[in-house]
Amino acid sequence: MNIIPTDQPPAEPARLVRDFTPGLIDVGTHHLCAGCGEPVAMRAAVEAIEELGVVHRTIGVMGIGCYTAFSNNLDVEVLQALHGRAPSLATGVKRAKPETFVFTVQGDGDMVNEGLQEVIHAAARGEKVTCLMLNNGVFGETGGHMTATTVIGQRTKNTLEGRDAEAHGHPILLANIIAGLDGAAYVARGAVNSAHNVALTKQMITAAFEAQLAGRGFSFVEILTMCPTGWFIETAEAPEYLGDNLAAVHRLGVLKDVSRG
């Protein structure tokens, strides 16, 4: 066994994890499960906000799910929406105060099950806000039940033998639907299951935010996130499970970017 001597300070000073906490996370700890992908996605979003220099005019609108815990961690103004209603609340904020930078955070359950019409209409109207959807294919906070994005074969609390198309229908690929609406200026789907995908996802979030700042229209990034607890699998297996199952159906990439035609 490798025993680390602690009778004197290490030769190389240790680097505290706290040193890597983005400036806009004002309380560095959270209570989400180990291996959850949502904190990784939130980190990419707040880093992008900071880098774009819009911190002091940012208003975040939170849906309801495990990610809602971040309402207490973010050092930007946050409003709490009712289930599914974040795009409408964001619309009101942006129309009342056009100089604000407005983003929403919702899950697949909140956005696709409980308030699907809200995001569709906001996109079709070309509202100049950015909506982020954290898609883990389950109602994570309430115990891992099937949502409208759960992929065929995915085991959830109420599809113990896996989602079956005949009994439970087919998954809704939301980013693909939004991309087909004329009011949407930028639409992409990323994932946080590898360092490479996290970097790409941050680029997508930045591009979506830039579309809003340029006044080009509605922007949307769907982010596939690990939920080992709701998937009933080992934490370490979750990134690969995401790649093999969720990303095989909800395909990653930029689906629309009107600035590039």
Ligand X SMILES: Cc1ncc(C[n+]2csc(CCOP(=O)(O)OP(=O)(O)O)c2C)c(N)n1
Tell me the residue ranges of DSSP E strands in the chain.
58-62, 77-80, 101-107, 130-135, 138-139, 145-146, 184-191, 218-224, 253-257
Order of strands across the sheet that contains 101-107 = 77-80, 58-62, 101-107, 130-135, 218-224, 184-191, 253-257
230 is a contact residue toward ligand SF4 (CB under 6 A) = yes
| Alpha helices, DSSP H, located in 27-85 | 38-52
Give the type of residue at 45. Answer: A
Among 46, 148, 227, 255, binds ligand SF4 (CB under 6 A): 227
Which residues 6+ apart lie within 8 Å of 96 measured at CB? none
Alpha-carbon distance of 231 to 22, in angstroms, equals: 29
Which residues 6+ apart lie within 8 Å of 247 measured at CB? 191, 193, 224
Q: Of residues 150-179, which lie at the interface with ligand X (CB under 6 A)?
A: none
Q: Which stretch binds ligand X (CB under 6 A): 42-50, 61-69, 71-79, 186-194?
A: 61-69
Q: Of residues 156-215, which lie at the interface with ligand SF4 (CB under 6 A)?
A: none
CB of 135 or CB of 206, closer to ligand SF4:
135
CB of 230 or CB of 239, closer to ligand SF4:
230
252 binds, among Mg ion, ligand X, ligand SF4, none (CB under 5 to 8 A by kind): none
Among 65, 87, 115, 228, binds ligand X (CB under 6 A): 65
Tokens standing for 45?
């979003």
CB of 22 or CB of 140, closer to ligand X:
140
108 is a contact residue toward ligand SF4 (CB under 6 A) = no
The site map against ligand SF4 for 26-45 (x = CB under 6 A) is: ------xx--x-x-------
Among 37, 107, 217, 228, binds ligand X (CB under 6 A): 107
Please work out the total of residues on this chain that contact ligand SF4, with binding judged by CB under 6 A: 12
CB of 110 or CB of 141, closer to ligand SF4:
141
SS3 19: helix
CB of 39 or CB of 217, closer to Mg ion:
39
Tokens standing for 186?
């930028």
Q: Which stretch binds ligand X (CB under 6 A): 86-94, 101-109, 200-208, 243-251?
A: 101-109
Alpha-carbon distance of 45 to 21, in angstroms, equals: 13
Question: Facing residues of 4 across strands?
Answer: none
Instruction: Decide if 208 contacts 256 (C-beta within 8 A).
Output: no
CB of 42 or CB of 129, closer to ligand SF4:
42
Give the type of residue at 233. Answer: I
Please work out the total of residues on this chain that contact ligand X, with binding judged by CB under 6 A: 19
Chain center to CA of 36: 12
Site residues for ligand X per CB under 6 A: 38, 63-67, 83, 107-110, 134, 136, 138-142, 147
Site residues for ligand SF4 per CB under 6 A: 32-33, 36, 38, 66, 136, 140-141, 227-230
